[in-house]
Amino acid sequence: MSVSAKIARHCMHLGISFVIENPYSSRIWLTEQMRSLVAAGASFGRTDFCGFKTPWRKATGFMFWQFPELATIFKTCLTQNGRCSFSGRRHIILSGIDSQGVWLTRRAQPYPKDMCDAIAQQLFNHFSS
């Protein structure tokens, strides 16, 4: 985390865009190093994987600089009556193992394809304009 913050600070000094990702609930976002990046002009946002068609919520935080288009892909679930605001279904709780003996947290590790496609499109737009 310390090294990532130093690299991000150096990127800011050189005018280079960066993105740092971690679970939204991670304590990394509470550290002085990360808070100082926001104070220096970095942006912070949240997206939930269920907004990209996964059955789990998995809130993820992104800190970014000189890449404002990234914020356009963020989708936050507004759970209502215990149901996902995107699918209308209950979220799968990422605890325990599935029927094949695989930890649910392991199943949820990869980024959703739709989220990757959206980020790739914004990167293309950012660097081709």
In a domain, 78, yes or no: yes
Residue 120 tokens read as: 């790739």
In a domain, 125, yes or no: no
Instruction: Give the C-alpha separation, 10 to 36, whole Å.
Output: 13
How many distinct structural domains can be found in the chain? 1
Judge whether residue 129 has pLDDT over 80: no
Domain around 71: 2-119
In a domain, 129, yes or no: no
Residue 76 tokens read as: 């936050």
In a domain, 81, yes or no: yes
At 68, the pLDDT band (50, 70, 90 cuts) reads: very high
In a domain, 111, yes or no: yes
Spell out a b/e string for 79-101, using b for 16 or more CB atoms within 10 Å of the CB, else e: eeeeebebeeeebbebeeeeeee
For residue 5, the model assigns a pLDDT of 97
In a domain, 45, yes or no: yes
